[in-house]
Structure 1
Amino acid sequence: MRDVLFFDSMLTPKVITFVYWLMLVVVLISGLKTIFGGFGFSFEKLIVGLLMMVTGAVGARIWCELLIVLFKIHDNVKKMAEK
């Protein structure tokens, strides 16, 4: 607990994993709402919904990986500073 309160360890990398899964759920719900929402079912809505789910999942993954890379850089710089 002391590490978190005095910023000796980073809490955000642990939170990023939770945020990633939350973003995947939101993307899935949004895609399904696009496919089945509105009046009737159409091929265009199916394509748009599937594209939304795929691009949203890939975008969420890329965004979370970039954040994790920043924290890994921080860890490596911290190790170099300790040497």
Structure 2
Amino acid sequence: MNQLFKLDEMLTPKIVTVLYWLGLIAIVISAISVLFGFGAYQYLGFFQRLIYAILILIFGGLMVRVYSELLIVIFKIYENLKKIADRQ
């Protein structure tokens, strides 16, 4: 708890990992809801819902992964810059 108030350790990379998994769970729930026709998708045929669900799984998962990796890269850059600064 003491490290939390000193700001010596980055907390955000851990939060990004949790948000990544929550994002993947949300993508799967969205795809399932589209597949079974909840909401506005209830008026589409099964084949259209199946295609939309697959697209949501593929592109949604890809977008969550890319966004999470971009955030993690920022913190990796910070860590490497901190190592360089500590050496000098």
Question: Could you tell me the TM-score, scaled by structure 2's length?
Answer: 0.87
Compute the displacement of 1:68 (Å).
Answer: 0.5
Deviation at 1:40, TM superposition (A): 7.4
Residue of 42, 49, 73 corresponding to 2:46: 42
- Gapped regions of structure 2 (runs ≥ 5): none
| Consecutive unaligned residues in structure 1, runs of 5 or more | none
Specify the alignment match of 1:57 in structure 2.
61
The TM-score normalised by the length of structure 1 is: 0.91
Give the alignment partner of residue 80 of structure 2, picking from 72, 76, 82: 76
Take 1:54 and 1:28, find their aligned partners in 2: how far apart are those partners? 10
- SS of the counterpart of 1:57? helix
Question: Which amino acid in structure 1 is aligned with residue 17 of structure 2?
Answer: T
Identity of aligned residues (%): 41
Please report the RMSD computed on the Cα atoms of aligned residues, expressed in angstroms: 1.4
4+ runs deviating over 3 angstroms: none
Which AA in structure 2 matches 1:58?
Answer: L
Q: Matched residue pairs, number?
A: 83
Q: Work out whether residues 27 and 56 of structure 1, in 8 Å CA contact, stay in contact via their aligned partners in 2.
A: yes
